[in-house]
Amino acid sequence: MKPETMTTQERIGFELRELYLSCGYRPYKVGKFEEYDLYMRNKKFLASEQVLTFSDTNGKLKALKPDVTLSIVKNAKDDGRTQKLCYSETVYRVPRNAYGFREIVQTGLECIGRVDDYAAGEVLMLAARSLEKISPRYVLDVSDVGVLSGVLAEEPIGDGECAKLLSLVGEKNLHGLADACAEMGVSALTQERLAKLVTACGPLQETLERVESLDLPQTSREALAGLKRMSDMLGVYGVGNVNLDFSVVNDMDYYNGLVFRGFVEGIPAGILAGGRYDNLLLRMGKHGEAIGFAVYLDQLERLSGAKTAHEAEALVLYDDTTDPLEIVRATETLRARGLSFRVQREEEPCPNCREIVRLTKEANV
């Protein structure tokens, strides 16, 4: 398929695949469905807990896959070797703030095995360059859940209470955060730390410098040091438009460390999401570490100026008076010029082709 005949979604999907392949990621294909039990046990990992299910001929409950990462982790070899995989798949789920299931085209990558600073930095760079393929006006927001979890670890509160506070941080709800802290008996110092982290948002390097001056626990400082190493790597890569934003949070039952989310101008919802998910591997009985991200290509239909595909570059029209040999000669001429074409009768609907060749009676009058 030629680039000029592709939709915006097809073109960007192709370019992202080439980008990932250029960094050594291998294409990976998963099936359309999995046993429902996989999703039932990991509902909080899913973007939506609603799953389309059906009974297989053997009586087992199956589901059309709402997620790709779970399937990849389930089938990943647990041999200590690092696997770098990329994919382009259709998932089935209810989008956020929407009604009804949709087919969602999702492309992305996963690095599973050993995730050191280089591997994490490479994934972050590929996330930024994925956004850049979509639009030069993009923003990649990054955080590290270790910064917030280090602050919350100072308090004698349970997992449920931590999850509630993280949710409020994700909403940047300072009033709700203050009320919840007071209700839970959280210390004034921790409340102050959380409030300052919520409001610390801006370009990665300079915002890190501001946050490093805050009075934070040692574990939080270690997470900040990791973000500093990522910032240095992105600087060498020449990647820009990266912000530090601690409202980027994910479920700590699954995620740990680096988390990030990507946006492009013209699309109100996030178009990319990813992070470090060692805890998911542990929950699924696997060893090692993992990081990855997904790009939601279905969101591109919201992008102003998104291009629809030509059915062909040229259209050959004929009627009952046209000699078939004349049609063949016309199409072979187009083929020799390297053009794709479609042949149809005059009375049929005319697709939006760039060139029209008329071999009809009216054309010869």
Q: Are residues 302 and 321 in the same domain?
A: no
Q: In this structure, is residue 257 part of a structural domain? A: no
Note the pLDDT tens digit of each residue in 256-274: 899 999 999 988 888 999 9
Report pLDDT for 238. Answer: 94
From first CA to last CA, the distance across the chain in angstroms is 36
Q: Are residues 9 and 124 in the same domain?
A: yes
Q: Are residues 219 and 94 in the same domain?
A: no
Q: In this structure, is residue 253 part of a structural domain? A: no
Q: In this structure, is residue 145 part of a structural domain? A: yes
- Tally the C-alpha atoms within 13 A of residue 335's C-alpha that lie toward its C-beta: 8
The answer to whether the CB of 177 falls within 8 A of the CB of 198 is yes
| Cα 195 to Cα 286: distance, rounded to the nearest angstrom | 36
Residue 256: closest CA among 228, 219, 231:
219
Phi (first) and psi of residue 79, to 5 degrees: -115, 10
Q: In this structure, is residue 249 part of a structural domain? A: no
| Cα 262 to Cα 246: distance, rounded to the nearest angstrom | 14
Regions of the chain where pLDDT drops below 70:
1-6, 96-98, 251-253, 302-311, 346-352, 362-365
Q: Are residues 43 and 147 in the same domain?
A: no
Q: Are residues 2 and 131 in the same domain?
A: yes
Q: Are residues 71 and 191 in the same domain?
A: no
Q: Are residues 129 and 269 in the same domain?
A: yes
Q: Are residues 171 and 319 in the same domain?
A: no
Total number of domains constituting the chain: 3
Domain hosting 142: range is 138-243
Question: What b/e sequence results for 304-330 when a residue is b if at least 16 CB atoms lie within 10 Å of its CB, and e otherwise?
Answer: eeeeebbebbbbbbbeeebeeeebeeb
Q: In this structure, is residue 300 part of a structural domain? A: yes
3-state secondary structure the chain: CCHHHCCHHHHHHHHHHHHHHHCCCEECCCCCEEEHHHHHCCHHHCCCCCCCEEECCCCCEEEECCCCHHHHHHHCCCCCCCEEEEEEEEEEECCCCCCCCEEEEEEEEEEEECCCHHHHHHHHHHHHHHHHHHCCCEEEEEEEHHHHHHHHCCCCCCHHHHHHHHHHHHHCCHHHHHHHHHHHCCCHHHHHHHHHHHHCEEEHHHHHHHHCCCCCCHHHHHHHHHHHHHHHHHHHHCCCCEEEECCCCCCCCCCCCEEEEEEECCCCCCCEEEEECHHHHHHCCCCCEEEEEEEEHHHHHHCCCCCCCCCCCEEEEECCCCCHHHHHHHHHHHHHCCCCEEEEECCCCCCCCCEEEECCHHHHC
Q: What is the pTM of this model?
A: 0.82
Report pLDDT for 365. Answer: 43
3-state secondary structure 88-155: EEEEEECCCCCCCCEEEEEEEEEEEECCCHHHHHHHHHHHHHHHHHHCCCEEEEEEEHHHHHHHHCCC
Q: Are residues 142 and 125 in the same domain?
A: no
Residues 6+ apart with CB under 8 A from 99: none
Q: In this structure, is residue 190 part of a structural domain? A: yes
Q: Are residues 122 and 7 in the same domain?
A: yes
Q: In this structure, is residue 51 part of a structural domain? A: yes
CATH of the domain at 327: 3.40.50
- What pairing do the DSSP bridges indicate for beta strands 272-276 and 314-318? unpaired
The answer to whether the CB of 177 falls within 8 A of the CB of 194 is yes
Q: In this structure, is residue 42 part of a structural domain? A: yes
| Cα 276 to Cα 3: distance, rounded to the nearest angstrom | 34
Residue 67: closest CA among 46, 88, 52:
46
Q: Are residues 229 and 123 in the same domain?
A: no
Q: Are residues 273 and 321 in the same domain?
A: no
Q: CA–CA distance from 276 to each of 32, 56, 121, 248, 256 (Å)?
A: 25, 34, 11, 13, 6
- Among 243, 273, 297, residue at a domain's last position: 243
